[in-house]
Amino acid sequence: MGGMSFPPDATVSEAGEFPLIQRLRDLFAQGEQVLVGPGDDAAVLRIRDGHVVVSTDVLVEGRHFRRDWVAAADIGHRAAAANLSDINAMGGRAHSLTIGLAAPRDLPAQWALDFAEGFAEECASVGASVVGGDLTSADSLVIAVTVLGSCRRSPVLRSGAEPGDVLALCGRQGWAAGGLAVLGRGFRSPRVLVEAYRRPEPPYDAGAVAAEAGATAMIDISDGLLAEARHLAEESQVAIDVRRDAFEVPEPLVAVGAATGADPLSFVLGGGDDHALLATFPTPGVPDGWAVIGSVSEGSEVTVDGAAYDGPTGWTHF
């Protein structure tokens, strides 16, 4: 690895701001859209056609992740996935990101490097580049990410669902929530669920496919399926009904439900962090890889099998 060096057990304070920034810069390859990357006052990017889409996300230690549960590289994957998925949910593709890292002075510098490697690896899965960022000290660990992407056609908003549309899902859903439930009880099994929490697998190609297929509204499931369905309903001024029988609950979730006394379907309906996509489509028009899980009608409520749902619907930030 190029750039300045420092002892492997150095903290971020001992490593120093600029040597650490140089080491972090070395980890991030630059794509063809980057005219000016890290190192100047701002990055300079180019876009040939389409629309520019931008999103920002903040992760706070103890609120969004725990270092004793998730390794630094995995936190990097999770932070990148949360942002890349937002562009996916617009029907676009992310191409550039910036990272702000506020870290305690005693944070191991190697932690920051491992985080950056995980972040870069996740970005590389969609061909995106980290083009800049900032590093400062703080009492707690905070990660702020801004992502830019492009849509070759009109972005798919949350506000376009129409009565008569169907509601469809693409991607793994409920697995990360099951993993969080396991970790919260001090266990590490079923391992497949714990790994799903540590490293989500968003369906990065599905957003553009949905846009091309005529999706009328779309959102990524970061907080919970029913919570995100409510966002679609409110923005589109429609009612949405979700069908229980549309889901095949995987065996690991059944096992966790039995061990914790929870309805295993509650992980699917109320769980977040898998970053699956939820979208509405005219009938017919649902592309391959998407499963119809409900319907859109006139009204304003989100229901399950036509009735109010009294279980958890998703994560709340306040």
* pLDDT, tens digit (0-9, with 9 covering 90-100), for 278-300: 999 998 889 999 999 999 999 99
Rg (CA), the chain: 20
Cβ(203)–Cβ(296) below 8 Å = no
State yes or no: pLDDT of 7 exceeds 90.
no
Structural domain boundaries of the chain?
12-151, 166-304
Inform me whether the pLDDT recorded for 56 exceeds 70.
yes
pLDDT tier at 41, thresholds 50, 70, 90: low
Mean pLDDT to the nearest integer, 69-82? 97
Contact call for residues 113 and 34 (beta carbons, < 8 A): no
CA dihedral 120, 209, 217, 123 (to 10 degrees): 0
What does the pLDDT read at residue 98? Answer: 97
Q: What is the pLDDT of residues 153-193, one digit of tens each?
A: 889 999 999 999 999 999 999 999 999 999 999 998 899 99
Q: What is the mean pLDDT of the chain?
A: 92
Least confident of 14-28, 55-69, 76-90, 186-200: 14-28
In this prediction the pTM is 0.87
pLDDT at 264 over 50: yes
Decide whether 12-151 matches 166-304 in CATH topology.
no
The answer to whether 33 touches 121, Cβ cutoff 8 Å, is no
- Pairing of β 239-242 and β 302-304: parallel
* Burial (0-12, 13-18, 19+ Cβ within 10 Å), 32: exposed
The number of beta carbons lying within 10 Å of the beta carbon of residue 22 is 16
Q: Which pLDDT does position 151 carry in this prediction?
A: 86
| CATH of 12-151 among 3.40.190.10, 3.30.1330.10, 2.30.29.30, 2.60.40.2310 | 3.30.1330.10
Q: What is the pLDDT of residue 284?
A: 85
Residue 45's pLDDT is 74
Q: Which amino acid is at 35?
A: L
Residue range 32-40: average pLDDT? 77
Do residues 43 and 98 lie in contact, with contact meaning Cβ atoms separated by under 8 Å?
A: yes
The architecture CATH gives domain 166-304: Alpha-Beta Complex (3.90)
Contact of 111 with 135, CB cutoff 8 Å: no
Question: Reduced to 3 DSSP states, what percent helix, strand and coil does the chain have, rounded to the nearest 5?
Answer: 35, 25, 40
pLDDT of 107 over the 90 cut: yes
